[in-house]
Amino acid sequence: MSTLRITLPAALLWTGLVLFGAACGAGPGYELIDESDGKADGSPALLPMTDADRKAYLRDAALFVATDVAAMDLVNGPAGKDAFSPSEAVTCRFSEPSADNLPGTGKSPKFACTIAGADGPDEVKVKYGTSNGELYGELISSRLLWALGFGADRNYAVRVTCLDCPKDDPWEAYQAYPRPYTGPREATRAFPSAIVERKFAGKKMVQCAKIDGARCLAEVPDEKQGWSWDEVDRLKADVGGDAKVQWDAFKLLAAFMKHADNKMANQRLVCLKGGIGTDGKCHRPFILVQDGGATFGGGAQTIFNIINDNTKARLQAWADEPVWQDRRRCKANVDSRFTLSDPTVTEAARQFLAGLLAQLTPDQQLALFTAARVAEHGELVRTDKLRELFPKADLGEAGLRRLFPEEDPGAPIPDQHVVNAAVWVLAFQAKLAELGQPCGG
């Protein structure tokens, strides 16, 4: 796998950026399953999970493992033999919809596709479409969570060639399941804007609705699997110390990212490596966000809490939304469709999260948004809007030339620009500065 390096020009740094010091505390020290294969080989069998089991696991679940934030490779992302290079050409064969590969409960276009590998067939989930904001939100959010030490699936921005793909929208074939797709096919079909997903290394724990001894006879419906933010908040109400700080920091980070579509199915409960005991119970439960596609936008819409394009990786919508709903009360700001709505946190949690984010170097910040290929989204921003959003940035003629080097240097500066990674960095740094101010008191 090749690697890329990206350097942020010093002239693009927002003047007045404050760094907030090192992260406090440490993670639980759990060993994650080797990301090169994501399997818990040799683990004892996990007994079916009851509702009471699930509540106990969620109460005790960890959610953070300390990383060397400044050393994390945000361009290439998580390494491993099953990783993909930035914009790697991936050829795969369209996987016919089945009960085993239906790719989630959401509405974002996606399909399963099988890569012919030396170790056998390798089925991956593909999200696609230049205008699909989830491609960008998913990559940004999952890579940021990973870099800071929170759990996330591994996503890679690639170029996909699909063999024997439906000529119509492949997502329609999955939406029509269980009816078979009978429409025309294309021998090869290109998806130049796509991401492929590798699951977080941990055994997914599924709640059973009906159990007979060690057998799960019926699972709880998919939309009721996972976990909700208010539920975990209640279950962890009596938790103190580092665990309390980390949970509140997790809520604050989700609000920071504007994780608006936070239904239960978009969060996951897993068991880490070595966590299944001889009693068939999980002794190392771990919780994570498993779908962050509706992030880095403006949150759910005020009327009916609708999730739309403005919710998914829209620079202007994200930059317009403050971090805090009420900083004096440590009440974060996120308009949510479900149960994460303006969460209240502690000052210790703010310090913890701000300390983690402050360890990201300017080059890493640029790498985060470059890796997501945000310019391909095609969002346009007017010059006067940029100056309104970032009053401390150097956005005179020379500054705009530096900010948009891809524009014709011989032509007059245009009235509007394609939002690129450097503009996202300005917004990110503005959020860091806002998060750097104490809350409460």
**pLDDT tens readout for residues 404-420:** 999 999 999 999 999 99
64 closest CA partner among 265, 249, 309: 249
Q: Report which DSSP code applies to 130.
A: T
Strand partners for 131: none
Residue 85 lies in a domain: no
Residue 333: predicted pLDDT: 96
| Residues 191, 231 within the same domain | no
Residue 21 lies in a domain: yes
Residue 308: predicted pLDDT: 80
pLDDT band at 117 (very low <50, low <70, confident <90, very high): confident
User: How many other β-carbons are positioned within 10 Å of the β-carbon of residue 203?
Assistant: 20
327-368: pLDDT as tens digits: 999 999 998 878 898 999 999 999 999 999 999 999 999 999
Residue 305 lies in a domain: yes
Distance of alpha carbon 166 from alpha carbon 179, whole angstroms? 14
DSSP output for 38-79? ---TTPPPPPPBPHHHHHHHHHH-B-B----GGG--TTT-S-
| Residues 206, 184 within the same domain | no
Number of domains composing the chain: 2
171 vs 2, higher pLDDT: 171
Residue 97 lies in a domain: yes
DSSP H or E stretch at residue 193? strand 185-198
- Asked if residue 207 has pLDDT above 50, the reply is yes
Residue 104: predicted pLDDT: 63
Name the least confident of 234-248, 292-306, 309-323: 292-306
- Asked if residue 60 has pLDDT above 50, the reply is yes
pLDDT band at 28 (very low <50, low <70, confident <90, very high): very low
| Residues 257, 397 within the same domain | yes
Of 145, 168, 198, the last residue of a domain is: 198
Distance of alpha carbon 336 from alpha carbon 2, whole angstroms? 39
- Asked if residue 10 has pLDDT above 80, the reply is no
Could you give the 3-state DSSP secondary structure of residue 142? helix
Residue 386 lies in a domain: yes
Residue 395: predicted pLDDT: 97
Mean pLDDT over 155-162 rounds to 98
Name the least confident of 142-151, 241-250, 301-310, 370-379: 301-310
| Residues 170, 226 within the same domain | no
- Asked if residue 40 has pLDDT above 80, the reply is no
392 closest CA partner among 12, 19, 20: 12
| Residues 354, 273 within the same domain | yes
Distance of alpha carbon 75 from alpha carbon 89, whole angstroms? 16
Residue 194 lies in a domain: yes
Distance of alpha carbon 284 from alpha carbon 27, whole angstroms? 13
Of 136, 168, 198, the last residue of a domain is: 198
**How many contiguous H segments (helices) and E segments (strands) does the chain have?**
11, 14
Contacts of 17 by beta carbon, 8 Å cutoff, 6+ apart: 429, 432, 433
Residue 271: predicted pLDDT: 97
User: How many other β-carbons are positioned within 10 Å of the β-carbon of residue 250?
Assistant: 26
C-alpha pair distances (Å), 146 with each of 65, 105, 113, 272, 368: 9, 23, 25, 15, 11
Distance of alpha carbon 100 from alpha carbon 77, whole angstroms? 27
185-202: pLDDT as tens digits: 999 999 999 999 999 989
| Residues 168, 213 within the same domain | no
| Residues 331, 403 within the same domain | yes
| Residues 63, 104 within the same domain | no
| Residues 419, 275 within the same domain | yes
- pTM for the full model? 0.90
C-alpha pair distances (Å), 23 with each of 20, 84, 358, 413: 9, 30, 8, 41
The rounded percent of the chain whose pLDDT value lies above 90 is: 77
Highest mean pLDDT among 29-43, 107-121, 176-190, 382-396: 382-396
Burial 302-322 (b: 16+ CB within 10 A, else e): eeebebebbbbbbbbbbbebe
pLDDT band at 105 (very low <50, low <70, confident <90, very high): low
* Residue 22 burial (C-beta neighbours within 10 Å; 0-12, 13-18, 19+): exposed
> What does residue 202 show for φ and ψ, rounded to 5 degrees?
180, 150
- Asked if residue 6 has pLDDT above 60, the reply is no
Residue 263 lies in a domain: yes
365-412: pLDDT as tens digits: 999 999 999 999 999 999 999 999 999 999 999 999 999 999 999 999
| Residues 322, 364 within the same domain | yes
Q: With contact defined as beta carbons under 8 Å apart, do 87 and 157 qualify?
A: yes
The rounded percent of the chain whose pLDDT value lies above 70 is: 88
326-335: pLDDT as tens digits: 999 999 999 8
| Residues 273, 332 within the same domain | yes
Of 160, 175, 198, the last residue of a domain is: 198
Residue 5 lies in a domain: no
Strands 154-166, 88-94: parallel, antiparallel or unpaired by DSSP? parallel
Residue 99: predicted pLDDT: 83
248-290: pLDDT as tens digits: 999 999 999 999 999 999 999 999 989 999 999 999 999 999 9
Q: With contact defined as beta carbons under 8 Å apart, do 363 and 4 qualify?
A: no
Mean predicted lDDT score pLDDT of the chain:
89
| Residues 256, 282 within the same domain | yes
- Strand residues in 252-296 grouped as ranges (E): 267-271, 285-289
Domain region containing 241: 10-75+201-435
DSSP output for 170-189? HHHHHHTTTSPP-S-EEEEE
Round to the nearest angstrom and report the end-to-end CA distance of the chain.
Answer: 50
Residue 411: predicted pLDDT: 96
